[in-house]
Structure 1
């Protein structure tokens, strides 16, 4: 029986890069986790162990550090484009390079002092081929909460339904979002800021009858306020907040004391397009 090799790629994951720009009185810290993934004419290494077409993953890692020194880092999308174009243009066997970058947030509290700002990350994914480039931006672990203006009712009930309907609940989620750009020529920083602010404004300003409705409102707001964005994909886990029953202690609970379980949770996902 004959077997054939399907789609494949290889690269270096978890490349940690911290770059400090000391050119001014106020230092700038850029903290990234970079992953590269290359594909192309790589049948030989899979089928016979011929590595003549394989750019070592250690070389890919070293290129990240060398480019950070030689060209600077700047916006993660631009950094990913430089790296991807380098791999495709210098390696005859490589026809596609994907760079996925997470930028970790630091909050400044002095000219050269910073505090890690939670788990939220800015994200970029760049795919470079011989025909051009595609760029996606995003963010993850942006945890948000509304203490009111959320309901959930009118859903089907069957023999296994125990969830009560409610016209007053807490609504919380941890936003995971990716959005695609219509061009690779974008002011990446401005576009990211506009998209993030639109997500927050829509979450805060939408009276929610379902997390699905909130998802669509958030995606629509990004498309309205970030002209370079062609579509946005959102993943919103429902971070439940359940009222604690305090009646065993002779106490009422007027929407004041909650328990926030981590699992299980609802997961709402969707795409909003122009």
Structure 2
């Protein structure tokens, strides 16, 4: 029997790069697939791994190239990864690097672009629910999967600690979530669409423009602001799973990582929920 073809590599290498230009941050999140071909037949047919490049090593190459190239566009970044693989491993004949971008749109308030707050491109699914009885109707509006992020001005510290606690305190982290939110109407607004837009804009503005001591802290203040802005809603409920961005340890490669290269992950995630009412 003959080995007709062979290739291997690393898929779903998720990496977030934050390019900090003073107060203004640029974010680029990619899911990378890097596949290689070359002189690897021995591993398949002779149980000889001597020329194999570990797939974990390929992941590390992606992360190192990310730290060294914070501002590259997707095409140039994939080229840089491919060039590094070919330059480092002579047994590699070809490498195919694909980067799939998670697109973040910069938020703006009062016509001014925000330096470090973003929403996911093509974001959220608005919904409405009507519960009708013979005595009347209860109307609820909301949005599902509305995803937003800021790259600084978020903390998590001063929490309870015990022998099971391993997470480190921080006063500067990425804060991101995919929010499920709904609000009950006590009276019909003049324009549901306009009122819904006002509620969502208020929630996001509070999140983006104020320091967050925790997701819990932000949610309460976001809900309070929405109730103050739109008097026709009776209460607002929000559920926000953390979309974690974990700082990648680059010390083994002699590189620092001052909050610029992260591993995006949402499993397992913290789940924070609350209802704010009048």
Superposed pair shares fold, TM > 0.5 = yes
Q: CA deviation at 1:118?
A: 2.4
**Stretches (4+) displaced over 4 A:** none
Q: Which has the higher contact order (CA 8 A, sep 6+)?
A: 2
Question: Could you give the per-residue CA deviations for residues 216-250 of structure 1, whole angstroms, max 9, x where no partner exists?
Answer: 01101110111111100000111111110011111
Quote the residue 1:158 is aligned against. Answer: 162
User: Any stretches of 5+ residues in structure 1 without a counterpart?
Assistant: 1-116
| Cα distance change of structure 1 residues 207 and 229 upon mapping to structure 2, 3 Å threshold | same
SS of equivalent residue, structure 1 residue 118: coil
Which structure is higher in strand share? 2
Once structures 1 and 2 are overlaid, which stretch shifts more, 205-214 or 182-191? 182-191
Quote the residue 2:226 is aligned against. Answer: 222
Quote the residue 1:260 is aligned against. Answer: 264
Quote the residue 2:201 is aligned against. Answer: 197
Aligned match for 2:251, one of 204, 225, 247: 247
Aligned Cα RMSD in Å? Answer: 1.2
8 A Cα contact 1:152 1:210, kept in partner: yes
1-structure distance, mates of 2:251, 2:209: 34
User: Any stretches of 5+ residues in structure 2 without a counterpart?
Assistant: 1-120
2-structure distance, mates of 1:206, 1:212: 13
2-structure distance, mates of 1:273, 1:186: 21
1-structure distance, mates of 2:236, 2:167: 31
Aligned match for 2:133, one of 111, 122, 129: 129
Quote the residue 2:75 is aligned against. Answer: none
8 A Cα contact 1:153 1:167, kept in partner: yes
Q: CA deviation at 1:186?
A: 4.6
Quote the residue 1:15 is aligned against. Answer: none
1-structure distance, mates of 2:128, 2:210: 27
Q: CA deviation at 1:119?
A: 4.8
Under a length normalisation based on structure 2, what TM-score does the superposition of the two structures give? 0.55
Quote the residue 2:71 is aligned against. Answer: none
Aligned residues: 158
Q: CA deviation at 1:130?
A: 1.0
Q: Please state if 1:212 is matched with 2:216.
A: yes
Under a length normalisation based on structure 1, what TM-score does the superposition of the two structures give? 0.56
Quote the residue 2:145 is aligned against. Answer: 141
